[in-house]
Amino acid sequence: MTSSVTTVRSADGSEITVEAIGSGAPIVLIGGAFNDRSTVTGLAATLAPHFTAIGYDRRGRGGSTDATGKFAVESEVEDLAAVIEYAGGAAAVFGHSSGAALALEGVLAGLPIDKVALYEIPAVVDGNRPEPPAEVFDRLVALIAAGDRDSAAELFLTEQVQVPAPVVEGMRNSPVWEFLCAQAPSLPYDVAVCGPSMRLQTDRYATIATPTLVINGDQTTPWMQTASKALAAAIPGSRHVVLPGEDHNILNQPAPLEPLLREFFVRG
């Protein structure tokens, strides 16, 4: 089964690269920080026998441009709106990590999202982890303006996500580091969509009426498990599923998601 790649134009003129595979009802797949459309191709392939799976490069990543560089959540919501319009005017949405936060912003903005599935939103709730320093966003913007992608990637990982420094150093000395640095110019969007404090926006999410599936793995970091549980509790009528043996890197081996998402997106 072959995929098709095209570009759509967002409201501010940014060009967003979109890749679709399969046939049937459309599902838009949104990756998180350091992800471009290539990181959701495995999941797209597992869904393609049943749906039209659509991945895209969030602005400033891969083949997508960023016409304004304002790092505003509204810009990414407009991008998602353009992708949904390309999909036929309405679609289901799956979001991973900060992509889950973006999917929720799309729902809250009233985009034509039929159903939404969310995997491990990164959020602070009930003291599950310390809040990141308030100035991370501004420091990231400054590093990107200076062309220092390496330091931007390190800052995001160590202070925003709180990956231990020795682990980050190991990543720096591995082949994956080049890929991470390539996505670094878009990291302020990940901070913006999750909120500088990363606090779970319980009051806002309590207004959601869209059918919602919240997922996490039982091997992921404890604070993300807590966040998923709290998110499911905040969204009325949502369903919460814990996948045994899975962690935050599920997009690398997405097969366990396929039956769960297929059942949810077909039946709700």
Instruction: Dihedral sign for Cα 213, 99, 17, 5, please.
Output: negative
State whether residue 19 is helix, strand or coil. strand
Q: Among residues 230, 32, 213, which one has the least CA distance to residue 127?
A: 230
CATH architecture of the domain with range 3-127+199-267: 3-Layer(aba) Sandwich (3.40)
CA 27 to mean position of chain CA atoms: 14
Q: Among residues 90, 105, 121, which one has the least CA distance to residue 28?
A: 90
Q: Is 24 left (phi over 0), alpha (psi -120 to 50) or beta?
A: left
Residue-wise pLDDT tens for the chain (268 aa)?
Answer: 789 999 999 999 999 999 999 999 999 999 999 999 999 999 999 999 999 999 999 999 999 999 999 999 999 999 999 999 999 999 999 999 999 999 999 999 999 999 999 999 999 999 999 999 999 999 999 999 999 999 999 999 999 999 999 999 999 999 999 999 999 999 999 999 999 999 999 999 999 999 999 999 999 999 999 999 999 999 999 999 999 999 999 999 999 999 999 999 996 5
Q: In what order do the strands lie in the sheet with 15-22?
A: 3-9, 15-22, 52-56, 26-30, 91-96, 113-119, 212-217, 239-243
- Within the chain, which residue ranges are assigned CATH 3.40.50.1820? 3-127+199-267
Predicted TM-score (pTM) of the model is 0.97
